[in-house]
A = this chain, B = another copy of it.
Amino acid sequence: MMSRFALLFRRSLSGYDCDRVGLQVRKVRCTSQTRHLSQQRAGEECCGTDDSSPATRKDSVATRGVNLSHPTFVVWGANTGVGKTLLSAGLLGSILSSRKARSRDVMYLKPVQTGYPADSDARFVTREVSNILRSSPHGIQNKVYICNHTLKASPAVHWAVKSKEETGMKDLGSYEELILEGSQRPNFYMNGHDNLEADSQGRSTESFSSALASLPSQLTCKTMLSWFDPVSPHYAAQTERTLVDDSYVIHSIQSALESHNIGYINDGSGCEAGEESRAEKWVLIETAGGVASPGPSGTLQCDLYRPLRLPAVLMGDGHLGGISSTISAYESLHSRGYDVGAVVLSDYGLDNEKPLLKYLQGRVPVFVLPPVPDISKGLSDWFDESQVCFSQIRYALEESHLRRIQRLHEMPRKAEQILWWPFTQHTMVPTGEITLIDSRCGENFSVFKSTDGDRLESQFDACASWWTQGPDMHLQPELAREAAYAAGRYGHVMFPENVHEPALRCAELLLEGVGQGWARRVFFSDTGSAAIEIALKMAFRKFVKDHASFFSADTSWKSVESQPSLKVLALSGSYHGDTLGAMEAQAPNPYTGFLQQPWYSGRGLFLDSPKVYMQMGQWQLDIPDSLLKDNAVKVKHADTVFDSRDDVFSATRDQTNLAETYRAYVDNQLSVHKAKEVKNVIAALIIEPVIHGAGGMEMVDPLFQRVLVSVCRNRNVPVIFDEIFAGCWRFGVQSTSELLNCYPDIACYAKLLTGGTVPLAVTLATEDVFESFKGLSKLDALLHGHSYTAHAMGCATAVAALQYFKDPSKNTNLLPSGRLLELWEPELVAAISCHPSVKRVTTIGTLFACELQDKDSGYASTSTKGLIQSLRANGIFARPLGNVVYFLCGPLTAPASCKILLQVLESHLSREMEQIKN
């Protein structure tokens, strides 16, 4: 059991014991090459930033990802002082001393260290792992390089270590290295007990083993950021006057992981590119304090590290009270979407593992280490005793890593076999082009890619998850918490004749918000389409009550034949949902064909409408010929071009000839319809205010919609605003009533209503509409309702989201006017609209849309394919609507993120143009 050791200190720090018995201190070459390397490594994690938070990091369009080719786990603690660092050291020791004499390249990261240099978990790990390896019963089978870097440090640390004055977080450049030289121990390979891989005949292949054994292993320990004061990081950062942005911490870790992934083992003789690829990699990242201890900026660590969503090992607490703190810590991790690979705790004779096992049964394995002795008396006996347990933990973590990878690989194939996607021609989805979404954090998806090694890549969700999404990474955990609270408090409770807090509060907020000025009643349902059908039923009843003379007094179902047929007034190109009733209220379109919806008949008078868009940098109006042909009044050119989008919405336009033209057109259409279709009555107006969403993100002239509402109001026809897409800040305002400058009688909301968590829909109505359902019989009531009506989780998340979006202390996009600031940089938008391949551009609120020139325009178009692929390759997840490419962000998205989206689009268009030219 003889081993030779070599030890080198580049810079020795206080507290590191370099006079160990049995160690031979040896000077190794300190070439400029290796020095350069270490400096480079130390530098690369921190480059691009000075001491404080770089403002450019505020954007959330992130493209860096996480490598999945080897196990990477984050060590969390149920509390401070429960033994996270012991767990790290034991685990790393177990990995490096495994009897499989492989070359290993292992990294230990301590992103945040306080109490430095007196305390250094990385130094502790460096020392203890070397002790473990020395005392390993198998001996050291191959040379092991152990190095310990300390990167950025606070001024107080610089002063303590170098007596040097600094401001902000500066490179400390501390580096220490230790080389353990292994023995070949041929006896070991000769006896029958080795676990080495044998060849297919089961013979142990000595030459192979020797070759492996001759390759070095490496442990790289890195402390990313250190402070002097032995307190919570946020407190140290504050007292030592050093601000560190969260995204800086995340990007530093990502850089370190990347450099570890492409790095080679620094064996002092330079790069051996052919061999390092065979080194098995493993990474442990150790947090500071407990799971919800604040990081340097004050953000709780469980929130701070969330963008990486690395799997966790939780060091629990074996003391009295430790069951509770371990379970609560687990719940804080779990509710943020972390996967916990193992829970470990030291045994203090209380059997704490039993309740934990019961609680975690079937979900997470629990491991018990022997009680930790007085650390000052040395830990080698304890590590010896714990060796089997550490092997088991390592095995469990590696297993869970492998299971995860295996599942990630099989998922796209299984999805292809058993899922049936909406709006998707399955024959047109090539294998390998299915997007596997591992998680989302704020506005970003984390997407699995296996083309170039297994990775998770971050993609900005530019579909706002199909028009529902609102949270950034601060709101997401808040919504998760509120959802859990509602589930814990209510689950679901039935609604008719009942009341519960989330439903009532949600109704109150809606009436104070989107319904302010007109709505008095809130009817809940589950999905936008149902909300529309409910709205139609409300409008029709109101119409029938208001125009009783049109109808037969017998309103039972048997009398249907004798009644006039009720129709809606609607605009061609508007879309109100997929269920039959909602479809009947829209003009014929690809979704309503016989093969799609054989029961569709189109129960409406559908008018063409004037559209507004930007072309060649100019906002302009496009009036369909049908609208002009019967009109004597001439439209002035000045009324069809606008200096800005605000001018489009200006109330002064009501005084123009154009308004008169619109009014005459609508009146005329209604009169013609009335004369022609004597058995049909127009009983409701339904519009998508401002933007026709599914119809291609087209902006309808708000003046035209205002005129429509006014004409219908004069005729006592109820007005429905379908704000399912538009409402709750989608267009930069709570409700498009603010943009159109008029109110509906009935309006529908869904999608963003819950901030983008669960389906919930509401139909708001005036008291007059509500009154028309009062009567003496239950059969007069609105007999429509879904089982999950006003479900608590939907209402609770809606309450949280509605309040958050509206709170200027939380939503930094909110202007004092109560609207969102302009998210899309006007110069970039104008530049894109000037591009030859762009037909038109529309922006409003969180929406940017751009129609490409295309011979086969429309929903079936595939012309955007190249652009979409290019966007995805650049970290932007977009999905086109035919030949329209759009970006949707959330009400909280930073303008800087929106800028990046536009820049990527602009640069693709320019590149494409270059290619066409050449």
CB neighbours of A757 from chain B (8 A): 487, 491-492, 791, 793
The answer to whether the Cβ of A50 comes within 8 Å of any Cβ in the partner chain is no
Q: Is A824 an interface residue (CB 8 A)?
A: no
Please, what's the 1-or-0 string for A794-823, where 1 marks a CB less than 8 Å from any CB in chain B? Answer: 100100000000000000000000000000
Give A564-603 as 1s and 0s: 1 = Cβ < 8 Å from B's Cβ atoms.
Answer: 0110000000000011111010001111111111111101
A293 touches B498 (CB 8 A): no
Question: Across the interface, do B327 and A292 meet the contact criterion of CB distance under 8 Å?
Answer: yes
A-B contact pairs, 30 of them (CB 8 A): A79-B79, A81-B320, A81-B321, A300-B327, A337-B487, A414-B499, A414-B504, A418-B504, A422-B782, A425-B780, A426-B774, A427-B776, A435-B499, A436-B500, A437-B499, A466-B495, A468-B494, A468-B788, A469-B491, A469-B492, A476-B488, A492-B757, A527-B759, A527-B788, A533-B578, A557-B590, A579-B579, A580-B580, A598-B683, A759-B787
Chain B proximity mask over A433-451: 1 for CB below 8 Å, otherwise 0: 1111111100001000000
A407, closest chain B residue (CB) = B501
Q: Are the C-beta atoms of B533 and A579 separated by less than 8 Å?
A: yes
One of A213-221, A328-336, A395-403, A893-901 contacting the partner: A328-336
Chain B min CB distance to A148 (Å): 25
Tell me the nearest residue of chain B to A592, going by C-beta.
B557
A790 to chain B, nearest CB (A): 8
Pairwise interchain contact B786-A412, C-beta atoms closer than 8 A: no
A378 within 8 A of B: no
A461 contacts across to B, CB distance below 8 A: 493-494
Interface presence of A913 (CB below 8 A): no
Instruction: Name the contact of A321 in the complex, choosing from B290, B334, B495, B503 (C-beta under 8 A).
Output: B290
Residues of B within 8 A of A184 (CB): none
Output the nearest chain B residue to A477 by Cβ-Cβ distance.
B488
Instruction: Name the B residues within 8 Å of A704 (CB-CB).
Output: none
How far is the CB of A606 from the nearest CB of chain B, in Å? 13
Q: Is A758 positioned at the interface, with any CB of B under 8 Å from its CB? A: yes
Range of interface residues on chain A? 35 or more
Across the interface, name the chain B residue whose C-beta is closest to A468: B787
Please list the 6 inter-chain residue pairs (A to B) with the smallest Cβ-Cβ separation, ordered nearest first.
A422-B785, A290-B324, A337-B489, A80-B321, A580-B581, A484-B484
Instruction: Scan A444-486; emit 1 where CB is below 8 A from any B CB, else 0.
Output: 0100000000000000010101111101000011011101111
Across the interface, A421 reaches (CB within 8 A) one of B496, B528, B540, B603, namely: B496
Chain B CB count within 10 A is highest, among A540, A558, A786, A791, for: A786
User: Besides the contacts A290-B324, A423-B784, what 19 more A-B pairs have beta carbons closer than 8 Å?
Assistant: A300-B324, A337-B485, A338-B488, A411-B501, A426-B774, A428-B778, A435-B499, A437-B498, A440-B492, A461-B493, A465-B494, A476-B487, A527-B788, A537-B596, A580-B580, A595-B779, A750-B787, A759-B786, A778-B859
Binds B, one of A121-129, A518-526, A651-659: A518-526
- A39 neighbours in B (Cβ, 8 Å): none
Contact of A355 with B by CB under 8 A: yes
Asked if A359 is an interface residue, CB under 8 A from chain B, the answer is yes
CA distance A485 to B599 in the complex (A): 41
CB contact under 8 A between A530 and B488, given known A422-B789, A591-B783, A783-B591: no
A373 within 8 Å of B (CB atoms): no
